[in-house]
Every structure is written in C-alpha cells, then in structure tokens.
Amino acid sequence: TYVVSMRRELGFGRGLQELAGTWGYPRMRARTVATLDNGPWQFTLANNYTGAYDQFYQAGPLDVKENITWDAQVQYNGFKNLKLTLGGRNIFDKNPPWADENY
C-alpha cells in the first residue's frame, strides 16, 4: 500500500495539513508472502515492511526508521481430518524503531 496523500485539519482554522509520511502515517506498507507445497507439507515465509516517517517530537523532527520483520509457518496435512500448524511472527525478534507514540 502506498499513500499518495492524506490530509487532515489538525486544529480549528489551521487548514488541511499533509500527513502522509509524518506523524505515524508511513507512506508505504507491504507484506510479501511465499508458500511452498511439498506433498503433505506446506512452508510459508512472509516479509512485513513499514516505511520510514517523520515524527514531530517535542524537541523537533525525529526520523522513525523503516521496520522489516519476518514471519514463518509450517503446516502438515498428512493425517485424515487433521491439520497441524506451527508458526511464529517476527521470528528474528527484531525490535521496532524508537518512536514517541504508543500505537
């Protein structure tokens, strides 16, 4: 997803301000998934990308870096009427970039 423009009025009478790429609204987010089927086995690897954005911190602008994480899943379908799945999100346990926001 690429946000070309996102404008909002942040205060009464202040007019519309461009927020795409600032204030916790990154311009780009993406998820890419690859799946391999091999008989009763299925292997999935997913890449999650959130683009960098500017955050206006109390002391001035702060660049929040891009964030890339990986998810993985393995599934076994070799039993009748039973499917076993094991997976994990952020499998490399990467910490997100620092930002002064809680959402």
Residue 88 DSSP SS3: strand
Residue written as token pair 């404008």: 7
Q: Note the pLDDT tens digit of each residue in 13-53.
A: 888 888 888 877 889 999 999 999 999 999 999 999 999 98
Q: Note the pLDDT tens digit of each residue in 81-101.
A: 999 999 999 999 999 888 776
State the amino acid at position 39 in one-letter form. G
Residue written as token pair 């519309």: 16
* Count of residues in the chain: 103
Q: What does pTM read for this prediction?
A: 0.79
Spell out a b/e string for 57-95, using b for 16 or more CB atoms within 10 Å of the CB, else e. Answer: eeeeeeebeebebebebebeeeeeeeeeeeeeeeeeeee
